[in-house]
Amino acid sequence: MAEKEQLLEEMRKAVIEFDEDRVKELANRWIELGYDANEAIFEGLAAGMEVVGELFAKNEYFVPEVLMCADALYAGLDILRPHIKAEDKTETKGVVVIGTVEGDVHDIGKNLVKLMFEVAGFEVHDLGKDVPLEKFVEEQLRTDADLVCLSAMMTTTMPGMKKVIEMLRERNPNVKIMIGGAPVSEKTVEMYGADATGKDAASALEEAIKMVSSLREMKRRKEI
């Protein structure tokens, strides 16, 4: 038991210190000892990333540091994921379509949010960057996604999000829509008719989980 806690603590630390090799070593050790992969993902990797988010919010870490932490997290995830128990795999938290809107080629923020969704067990369909607006609608219909996440890093591409939201609402009024990016604020959410924004990847995830569970609840009631 003590060793397990020790390993998790070290895993968190290695993510925070963006020590990719150390994360790999610890993840392998975890699997060798036969512990639950899911526990390491949540209590080790994701918990470490949460601290990274706090450091970012406090201006101790900046984007380069966060990117390196994300790399460390991915390194661990690659090792742990194949060992997730079958019963943990069956129920995904929700289906997400994510992408950066047309005209915008920034994808760092989008990729971080995507990473958090993956860690949390969402099924993620990543459309990439500079995505034609209609593509979001098509992909939502194709995958029956619960949630569509739109990203824009510049004021000059933000208005594209409004168009996507209108198109999505028209086709599927129930879908939840989250928007994010440097110029996006609570006011933008209201102005564009989105459901939420997250000021960073961790709070985006928190919002997403809330939205998807309320959506599931709604669907369930309809079925009854």
Partner 1 sequence: MTPKERVMNTLEKKRVDRVPAFSGMGNVTVAGMRKHGIDFASSHADARLMATLACSTYELFRFECAVVPFDLCVEAEALGCEVNFYAGKSSILYPTIKTKVLKVGEELSIPEDLLERGRIPLVQEAISLCRERLNGEVAVGSYVLGPFTLAGQLIDLNDLLKSSFKKPAQVKALLEQLVEPLAEIANSYAESGADYITVREMGAPSDVISPRMFKTLVQPYLKETIARIKAPTILHMCGDTNMLVEMLNECGASAISVEQKNDVAATRSKLGEEAVILGNLDAYGVIVKGTPGEVEQAVKQAIEAGVDGVMPGCDIWPEVPEENMHALMQAVEKYGAR
Query: Residues interacting with partner 1, by CB under 8 A?
Result: 59, 62-65, 67-68, 71, 102-106, 108, 111, 130, 154-160, 163, 182-183, 185, 187-188, 191
**What letter represents residue 137's amino acid?**
V
Could you tell me the smallest distance in angstroms from the CB atom of residue 130 to partner 1? 6
Nearest CA to 175 among 158, 188, 160, 193?
193
Could you tell me the smallest distance in angstroms from the CB atom of residue 69 to partner 1? 11
Could you tell me the smallest distance in angstroms from the CB atom of residue 161 to partner 1? 12
Based on CB atoms, which residue is closest to partner 1, 159 or 171?
Answer: 159
Based on CB atoms, which residue is closest to partner 1, 39 or 130?
Answer: 130
Please tell me the distance from the alpha carbon of residue 127 to that of residue 219, in angstroms, as a whole number. Answer: 26
Could you tell me the smallest distance in angstroms from the CB atom of residue 81 to partner 1? 22
SS3 of residue 211 by DSSP = helix
Own/partner pairs for 111-114, CB < 8 Å, 24+ apart? 111/70, 112/66, 112/70, 112/200, 112/201, 113/149, 113/151, 113/180, 113/198, 113/201, 113/204, 113/205
Based on CB atoms, which residue is closest to partner 1, 64 or 82?
Answer: 64
Query: Is there a contact between 224 and 194 (Cβ–Cβ < 8 Å)?
Result: no
Q: List the structure tokens of 130.
A: 């500079």
**What letter represents residue 16's amino acid?**
I
SS3 of residue 95 by DSSP = strand
In this structure, the number of other CB atoms found within 10 A of the CB of residue 89 comes to: 11
Based on CB atoms, which residue is closest to partner 1, 28 or 62?
Answer: 62
Based on CB atoms, which residue is closest to partner 1, 31 or 55?
Answer: 55
Based on CB atoms, which residue is closest to partner 1, 204 or 211?
Answer: 204
Element (H, E) at 197: strand 196-197
In this structure, the number of other CB atoms found within 10 A of the CB of residue 22 comes to: 18
Based on CB atoms, which residue is closest to partner 1, 95 or 164?
Answer: 164
Could you tell me the smallest distance in angstroms from the CB atom of residue 35 to partner 1? 31
Could you tell me the smallest distance in angstroms from the CB atom of residue 4 to partner 1? 32
Could you tell me the smallest distance in angstroms from the CB atom of residue 18 to partner 1? 9
